[in-house]
Amino acid sequence: MSIMKNNKRLFYWDRLISLLTCILMIAAVALQKNGTLAGHEASTIFASADASDAADTISVMNDGTIVVNTSAIGSDIKGYGGPTPLRISIKDNTITHIESLPNVETPDFFYSASEMIFPLYVGKTLDEIALVKTDAISGATFSSMAIHENIRRGIEYVHPRTEELMAAHPAPTPMSTSKTIASCLVILMGALLPLWLKGKGYRIIQLLLNVAVLGCWCGTFINYSLLVNYLSNGVHLSVAVASLLLIAVATLMPLFGRSRHYCLWLCPLGSAQELMGKILPFNISIPPKLMQGLTTFKWALWSILMLVMWTGVWFEWMDYELFSIFMFQQASWIVIVLAALCGICSLFVSRPYCRFVCPTGTLMQIIENKKLSSQM
């Protein structure tokens, strides 16, 4: 009996040490990428920006144009990756131009969001800003909501009357209450119901909910960008409840013997692949040597990607994890093409991206302190 208790203690200690090790590894990436940890210390990207960007909140051009810089007054407004400062030009009480300043957002997402949002405000008078419909951007991403809030904060700073108007038309949060509740319910279903329900029918329902609710509707999933940005900039509990619950399930379930529970029961990308695999009545059997080679490739890929981040060479690869396909309108064409190829492969091979590529899934395996399984 004592041997069993000792083995159980060792099991928990091994998992906890593995979890701490992974947190430290991602924290090192966060420091290298943004120069911040939990929102503390100056971000290297702003340290390298023009000093005037951070120093002058309001300046006046020769032609009378007022320029508002939100670097200081909007420093607490976080997008997906961190602060999203803007430079807003105002002439004759009308917004004439909006320009984004250096930030650490995903370039494709931020550019897409700004291209859709800026025209909503340019040409509007300061009194009309509060009436702009801020739900115009599909998906209500963190980046788009941060842009909206920066514009409103800047206008409020230069034109006090807008404070009264905006109080009657508050800006939305990145995830509405209905989306938060729906995400949390689906997460709890995927975490708890598999402990008692074993039927295939329920599994299909859970997979569909993962794709439809967590993926397409809410954009709630775990990827490297999320983990790095949370460790770098900290977490706003009011807008990250669902994501934090998902992370808790992913890291705690293995402690109770539920290995790869997130990957198998909650990941929307893994769920989409599994559903695709049910379309055809057969799967291709992969020879053992090829399987071993593909598994080795996954570990080698993960090691290389971590190395290029630790050395500060290449962080952009995080933008191309296939999870961003669920924000289709803002996904890059590279992600769209790769996701399409993954979908085709899923018709014939079970969960190909999960088993042979996914860096986030590999990190999950390390957290579990377990050798990578060839079966997902």
pLDDT in tens, 268-289: 999 999 999 999 988 888 999 9
Residue-wise DSSP of 164-222:
HHHHHSPPPPSS-HHHHHHHHHHHHHHHHGGGT---HHHHHHHHHHIIIIIIIIT----
- Confidence (pLDDT) at 266: 96
pLDDT in tens, 325-336: 987 777 788 999
Q: How far is CA 144 from CA 78, 124, 245, in A?
A: 10, 19, 23
Task: Mean pLDDT check: name the lowest of 72-81, 242-251, 340-349.
Answer: 72-81
For residue 69, what is the enclosing H or E element?
strand 66-69
pTM for the complete prediction?
0.77
Query: Do the Cβ atoms of 319 and 98 come closer than 8 Å?
Result: no
- Confidence (pLDDT) at 164: 53
For residue 269, what is the enclosing H or E element?
helix 268-277
Q: Under 8 Å CB-to-CB from 131, ≥6 apart: which residues?
A: 165, 169
Question: How many angstroms separate the CA atoms of 107 and 114, rounded?
Answer: 10
Residue-wise DSSP of 79-117:
-SSSB--EEEEEETTEEEEEEEPP--S-HHHHHHHHHHH
Q: Helix %, strand %, coil % for the chain, to 5? A: 60, 5, 30
The larger pLDDT score, comparing residue 85 to residue 78, is at 85
Task: Mean pLDDT check: name the lowest of 10-19, 42-51, 156-165.
Answer: 42-51
Task: Report CA torsion sign: 136, 142, 148, 149.
Answer: positive
Query: Do the Cβ atoms of 145 and 84 come closer than 8 Å?
Result: no
* HSE, side-chain direction, 13 A CA sphere, residue 283: 15
pLDDT in tens, 8-43: 666 677 778 888 999 999 999 998 987 888 777 644
Question: How many angstroms separate the CA atoms of 104 and 29, rounded?
Answer: 13
Residue 175 banded pLDDT, cuts 50, 70, 90: low
Residue 2 banded pLDDT, cuts 50, 70, 90: low
Residue 127 banded pLDDT, cuts 50, 70, 90: confident
Domains and CATH numbers, the chain: 46-168 (3.90.1010), 177-367 (no CATH)
Work out the percent of the chain whose per-residue pLDDT is above 90: 39
Q: Give the pair of three-digit tokens for residue 94.
A: 């009308």
* Range with top average pLDDT, 15-24, 41-50, 81-90, 180-189: 180-189
pLDDT in tens, 50-64: 444 444 788 888 888
Q: Among candidates 107, 62, 70, 63, which has minimal Cα distance to 87?
A: 70
Q: How high does pLDDT run on average in the chain? A: 82
252 pLDDT above the threshold of 80? yes
Task: Mean pLDDT check: name the lowest of 60-64, 131-135, 214-218, 296-300.
Answer: 131-135
Question: How many angstroms separate the CA atoms of 89 and 108, rounded?
Answer: 24
| Average pLDDT of the segment spanning 338-363 | 95
- Confidence (pLDDT) at 25: 94
Task: Report CA torsion sign: 45, 51, 53, 55.
Answer: positive
Question: At which residue do the structure tokens 């994501």 appear?
Answer: 243
